[in-house]
Amino acid sequence: MRLNSQDIHTRFRRHAVRVTRQRAAIYQALAETTSHPTANELYQTVKRQHPMISRNTVYYTLGVLRQAGLVQEVNVGHEVARFDGNVTVHHHLICLGCSQIVDVMDEALNQLAVSDGQARGFRILGHRVEFHGYCAGCQRAKLDAPQRSRQEH
């Protein structure tokens, strides 16, 4: 989603986040994609507009935005952290072939609960569902080269 700087300013203020050019650029980059980029990918993107920006600022900013609730962190296995500008409740499809992450918006999944018998006294605040499989492209690739072994974790 394309945001103008006014939108960003308003959002940041509403979440009590100080506005700086670097932050706006990082948030903008995240809002414009659905690809769940890593901190480093965001750094590379933002560097085109702000050649002087440091990785540290990207990490620091992502931390600030996350705590403010403007950004979500998505973790797949132990790969590097990936970020999501979509902060509505949703879940993910993860491709075991190419590691792409696709958003799943499904009200039924949002309603999941643990049975009392299994809850062990926990007070549950939220949950997260990941589906693992192969995307259309990787299924085709597998048919073309079915002999290659694959490591799934």
Task: Report residue 115: phi and psi, to 5°.
Answer: -65, 150
Binding site for DNA (CB under 7 A): 12, 17-23, 38-40, 50, 52-57, 59-61, 63-64, 78, 80-81
Q: Are 56 and 102 in contact (CB under 8 A)?
A: no
Q: How far apart are CA 5 and CA 81, in angstroms?
A: 26
Q: Closer to a copy of itself by CB, 1 or 104: give it.
A: 104
Least Å from the CB of residue 60 to a copy of itself: 14
Report the nearest approach of a copy of itself to the CB of residue 41 (Å): 16
- Angle, vertex CA 33, rays to CA 111 and CA 38, nearest 5: 85
The answer to whether 96 contacts a copy of itself (rule: CB under 8 A) is yes
CA distance 69 to 78: 23
Gyration radius from the chain CA atoms: 18
73: helix, strand or coil? strand
Per CB under 8 A, the list member of 118, 143, 146, 148 interacting with a copy of itself is 118
The least CB distance from residue 123 to DNA, in Å, is: 26
- Asked if 88 is part of the footprint of a copy of itself (rule: CB under 8 A), the reply reads no
CB of 121 to DNA, least distance (A): 28
Phi first, then psi: give them for residue 90, nearest 5 degrees.
-160, 175
Q: Interface residues with a copy of itself (CB under 8 A)?
A: 66-67, 73, 75, 77-78, 81, 93, 95-96, 102, 104-106, 108-109, 112, 114-115, 118-136, 139, 151-153
